[in-house]
Copies of this chain bind each other. A is one copy, B any other.
Amino acid sequence: MKIYADNAATTKLSRVSKEAMLPYFDTIYGNPSSLYSAGQEAAEAINRARQIIAKKLNCEPREIYFTSGGSEADNQAIISAAQIGARQNKRHIVSTAFEHHAVLHILEKLKKQGYEITLLDVHENGIVMPDEVAAAIRDDTCLVTVMYANNEIGTIQPIAEIGAICGAKGVLFHTDAVQAAGHVYIDVKAQHIDMLSLSAHKFHGPKGAGVLYAKKGIFLTNIIEGGAQERGKRGGTENVPAIMGMAAAFEEACAKIDGNTQKLTALRDKITEGLLKIPHSVLNGDSARRLPGNVNVCFEGIEGESLLLYLDAQGIMASSGSACTSGSLDPSHVLLAIGRPHEIAHGSLRLSLSEENTHEEAEYITEKVAEVVEHLRSMSPVWRDLKEGKKSYVIQ
């Protein structure tokens, strides 16, 4: 059995998305900036894509800027807000301790440039409190950036409440919706979102395509200077096939939200229930206010990396947290942010499901994880110390 359960890292391109891309590789391959009809055909295609995405986010097509992915969109949103702030002498930004590194690293860079960054604590349930956001906003705050759903533990933030607070205080609000887009309903107007980032390959679209939504009136700073593409805000020939694939995938994903929520929530809860039967295990993040397909559990006394390699040998593809930092030996900053101590943050497992996963697979996963955890514990000196009472369990 081969089970792909790492859809938060990336997804398989859907048939619909692939078919939307194919004609633009070698049939309608003109440059959208070209004047002749074959170029204009490509330009009209990306306009249609812009309309599709705008409609699903409830914004206007001209508020959609195509980027090479979620990281680029996050960078451009935050740099733009920082520059707008600087022109008004406002150099304070509010964010959270468990954002994606695309957000945290650009905030660190801004800090070196003289900006003041407040990173809010995240509670054990992995939810940011709107009143704490409100309390952190100052007269010189130029931006609040809070992710829509966390990429490791899947917890969904009270975006509409945070948006309303920012709106009332006149502060720009950006949300990294890379994990949420195509999985939960987003309405930038109703949720008072000024800027939003999404990435196609997280909802069965292609890699290399993303969107920055920026409400009209927000003056964007280019991070890629060049031609007049994207209303002068992003140089470089438009990636027409990827844009078409992204729009098709987003439309398809949004149409499936109700069905997938029902299906994945059932699978998620079944796996979670199974895994929590393993002694000294704990769910990371709120059990209900999380993405339908996200399971994230810590097991005491084992290393997440070993767990992944043993599961891979059993045909299960999962992760310990974010794929983007898998080369690092540091424990997950997300798990530390929700208060997990180092020794158990190392023993995490993230399973992120798609509609292709089945109940049979859920049972197989639960069974195999239990076996592997038991095996790893049997070899673990830490576990022996815990069992012999030389150390105390962190997870009861």
> Residues of A with Cβ closer than 8 Å to B?
4, 6, 9-13, 15, 18, 25-26, 29-31, 33-39, 68-72, 74-75, 100-102, 105-106, 109, 199, 201, 206-209, 222-229, 235-242, 305, 308-309, 311-312, 317-319, 322-328
Contacts and interface: CB of A to CB of B under 8 A. Distances in A.
Given A208-B208, A227-B322, A239-B208, A6 B33 contact: no
A36 to B, nearest CB: 4
Contact of A102 (B12, B223, B227): B227
Contact of A224 (B33, B75, B206): B75
A35 B316 CA distance: 11
Contact of A319 (B11, B34, B101): B34
B241 A207 contact: yes
A318 B312 CA distance: 52
A72 B236 contact: yes
A305 B39 CA distance: 14
A365 to B, nearest CB: 13
A18 B26 contact: yes
A39 B305 CA distance: 14
A235 B327 contact: no
B237 A324 contact: yes
Contact of A227 (B71, B199, B317): B71
Nearest to A317: B36
14 contacts: A9-B39, A10-B31, A12-B26, A18-B25, A33-B326, A36-B308, A36-B317, A37-B312, A68-B72, A71-B224, A101-B225, A102-B235, A206-B239, A228-B327
Contacts of A240: 207
Contacts of A72: 68, 224, 236
A126 to B, nearest CB: 20
Contact of A223 (B6, B33, B36, B223): B223
Given A68-B72, A224-B223, A317-B39, A207 B13 contact: no
Nearest to A229: B324
B68 A312 contact: no
Given A228-B324, A326-B34, A235 B26 contact: no
